[in-house]
Amino acid sequence: MGVARKMKIPATKYPVERFTLDNGLRVVLTPDRSAPVVGVAVVYDVGIRSEPEGRTGFAHLFEHLMFQGSENLEKLAHFRHVQGAGGSFNGSTHLDYTDYFEVLPAGALERALFLEADRMRGPRLTEENLRNQVDVVKEEIRVNVLNRPYGGFPWLRLPPVMFETFANAHDGYGSFGDLDHATVADAEEFFDKYYASGNAVLAVAGDFDVAQATVLIERHFGDVQARSKPDLPDFAEPDLSGERRESYVDRLAPLPAVASGYRIPDPIGQFEQYLPYVVLAEVLTDGDASRLVERLVQRDRTVTSVGGYIGFMGDEYQVRNPTAMLLQAHLPPGGDADKVLRTIDEELDRLATGGLTPGELARTQARMATHLLRDTDAVLGRALPMAVLEAQRGRPELLNELPRLVGEVTEAQIVAAAATLRPERRATIEVVPGANQ
């Protein structure tokens, strides 16, 4: 084993101003006058894991409803006002949060604040809007899951093999039956509970004056009804006590595939123990020189591609416990998933007993730090993650520290992490191609 050596990567220095309005809304400001652009993000601390039983897909459905008009704006007005100012917008649903955001010229900051505050007061939850958006979500499921090769692999298929509880195991896209049975009363209850000002974070990044932005935020959000943050559910469940494995036929998949997940430490409560797994995933799969690419793709040719990442939606710094490290591979015709899994075990054992090769860790850390630094170049690359970091940790400034912290992970930590990834702690799904059946 080589001498442990830390990669020296400097922290970024994006400024962070934080305050909380009387109604509980938390605000994060990170000014940067280098370009006349602003990013505005609102994150609600509710995601797929929080949706009630019998309402699978509801968190995502509600994200759609938030674009169907609000207290003072008719349907499509949000789109028109943002695009009319030369901006762009979107929203997305994750396991543990839902986000909404705009990127606009700096002069349009107040417009974005008005739009977000207006729907925080209340979206237009009508029967017409609900039924229309149920149909839209069902069509997304058809396009992205039911009628696409490897649809839902592995993010929808692996959790029910790995986990026991409804919160962790259920289909986040939703079943057609649950979506069809959703009512306006359900939507109103969901909004009242989870879309409270006390359960939200507003973040603004880019070209603005802090004092002026604070006045605008108080003007538009200050009179939003105060509703307290709901209690965060406990999603915890025991680790696997034995290997779990399932296979299924994908009628559209031309080739076999396999994915495995391993439970890892709490991303928030055990961040120091968690971070080595984030780096380990990259050591194993990032780039042609990585362990599993070199062995499985280039040497053995038992897979055509292999990837590794943390979290079922790939959001390693924006997820709560429990989560997993995933390894997935696509195989050539007639590929042997058992052989692939055995080889992965061999490589993990080799890493756990023999350590890293000279330069292997530093090379990986440099790539990871480069990606982190590049991602924060854009105003939205600061506003969105800072909002989530505030919501989940109360530490938006962690975004500045991540490149440095990645560089401080040691070889000994990587080796120790690899040693925990045993077959008896693994959940696996195998895709059986159905194209010729």
* 244-433 to CATH, choices 1.10.10.350, 3.80.10.10, 3.10.150.10, 3.30.830.10: 3.30.830.10
pLDDT one-digit tens code per residue, 104-163: 999 999 999 999 999 999 999 999 999 999 999 999 999 999 999 999 999 999 999 999
Question: pTM score > 0.85 for this model?
Answer: yes
Q: Where residue 228 falls among pLDDT bands split at 50, 70, 90?
A: confident
Phi-psi region of 26 (alpha: psi -120 to 50; beta: other; left: phi over 0): beta
Q: Say what percent of the chain tops pLDDT 90.
A: 94
Q: Where are the alpha helices (DSSP H) in 355-396?
A: 360-375, 380-393
- At residue 165, the 3 state secondary structure works out as coil
pLDDT one-digit tens code per residue, 188-218: 999 999 999 999 999 999 999 999 999 999 9
Q: Where residue 262 falls among pLDDT bands split at 50, 70, 90?
A: very high
Q: How far, in Å, CA of 213 to CA of 413, rounded?
A: 43
**pLDDT for residue 3 is more than 50:** no
Intervals of CATH 3.30.830.10 along the chain: 17-221, 244-433
Residues 53-75 have a mean pLDDT of 95
Q: Say what percent of the chain tops pLDDT 70.
A: 98
**pLDDT for residue 435 is more than 70:** no
Bridge partner list, 329: 258, 306
In the prediction, which pLDDT does 133 show?
97
**pLDDT for residue 4 is more than 60:** no
- At residue 427, the 3 state secondary structure works out as strand
Residue-level length of the chain: 437
pLDDT one-digit tens code per residue, 85-110: 999 999 999 999 999 999 999 999 99
- For Cα atoms 180, 227, 82, give the angle at the middle one, nearest 5 degrees: 65
Q: Are 179 and 134 in contact (CB under 8 A)?
A: yes
- For Cα atoms 172, 174, 180, give the angle at the middle one, nearest 5 degrees: 155
Arithmetic mean of pLDDT over the chain = 95
| b/e map 284-293, b = 16+ CB within 10 Å | bbbeeebbbb
pLDDT one-digit tens code per residue, 334-343: 999 999 999 9
Region of poorest pLDDT, from 33-37, 72-76, 299-303: 72-76
In the prediction, which pLDDT does 314 show?
85
**pLDDT for residue 2 is more than 70:** no
Bridge partner list, 327: 260, 308
For the sheet with 17-20, list strands across it: 17-20, 26-31, 200-206, 37-44, 98-105, 88-93
Q: Where residue 1 falls among pLDDT bands split at 50, 70, 90?
A: very low
In the prediction, which pLDDT does 8 show?
75
- At residue 431, the 3 state secondary structure works out as strand
pLDDT one-digit tens code per residue, 366-397: 999 999 999 999 999 999 999 999 999 999 99
Superfamily of domain 17-221: Metalloenzyme, LuxS/M16 peptidase-like (3.30.830.10)
In the prediction, which pLDDT does 10 show?
79
